[in-house]
Chain A
Amino acid sequence: QKEVEQDPGPLSVPEGAIVSLNCTYSNSAFQYFMWYRQYSRKGPELLMYTYSSGNKEDGRFTAQVDKSSKYISLFIRDSQPSDSATYLCAMTGGGNKLTFGTGTQLKVEL
């Protein structure tokens, strides 16, 4: 079983929809939770990170962490075609390496 599980999709939504992306994990030592966006054939771009449980909002993006359930989410409001990409969750216990999910492919259609 992988430490971080993420539905690979693809997930297709209409423009303007609210998108919910999720990851589950098994390692209770994880304390920092990141979301990266990766366009095709590009490197991952850090969207936001959250420490421990709680919510964090940045523009149209909201990250939620529920450590008791070992479940994290990224919500995208008013989704745009430019949001079409692969979204990777990543986690660390505060050490030097990130553990990634496999990524969810999102397509926002006009």
Chain B
Amino acid sequence: ETGVTQSPTHLIKTRGQQVTLRCSSQSGHNTVSWYQQALGQGPQFIFQYYREEENGRGNFPPRFSGLQFPNYSSELNVNALELDDSALYLCASSLGANAYEQYFGPGTRLTVT
């Protein structure tokens, strides 16, 4: 069984730039959720993708957007990067939209300068 994978591991961007983060869900899972974890904080829910549609969104602005592909992998796109976007971005996969059995990937650490 293949776990959740994310790429890249880390990257550095400049304020105002755009970034795309990628996630491959665990084998057999059809749902991907994205979270942002600032240093010293718990993860915050960004949004979830279920059957290639956005299925719920947290308190994040529209410059955070995503996609899910037919193979259930997913992308998170962030436009017009701000310094406060610096964080660990986590992808979690699950079988179905319920949150209580989500399995996380290793995360992508984004630094915005």
Assuming the contacts A32-B100, A34-B100, A92-B99, asked whether A97 and B56 have C-beta atoms less than 8 A apart, the reply is yes
Q: Classify chain B's interface size.
A: 20 to 34
B102 within 8 A of A: yes
**Interface contact A99-B101, CB-CB below 8 Å:** no
Chain A contacts for B40, CB-based, 8 A: 8, 102-103
- The answer to whether the Cβ of B2 comes within 8 Å of any Cβ in the partner chain is no
Q: Assuming the A-B contacts A96-B55, A99-B45, A100-B43, are A43 and B104 also in contact, with contact meaning beta carbons closer than 8 angstroms in the complex?
A: yes
The chain A residues found within 8 Å of chain B, CB to CB, are: 4, 6, 8, 32, 34, 36, 41-46, 49, 51, 88, 90, 92, 94-103
28 A/B residue pairs, CB under 8 Å, sorted by A:
A4-B42, A8-B40, A32-B99, A36-B104, A41-B109, A42-B107, A43-B6, A43-B106, A44-B43, A44-B90, A49-B100, A51-B100, A90-B42, A92-B98, A94-B98, A95-B97, A96-B33, A96-B56, A96-B97, A97-B99, A98-B45, A98-B99, A100-B42, A100-B43, A101-B42, A102-B41, A102-B42, A103-B42
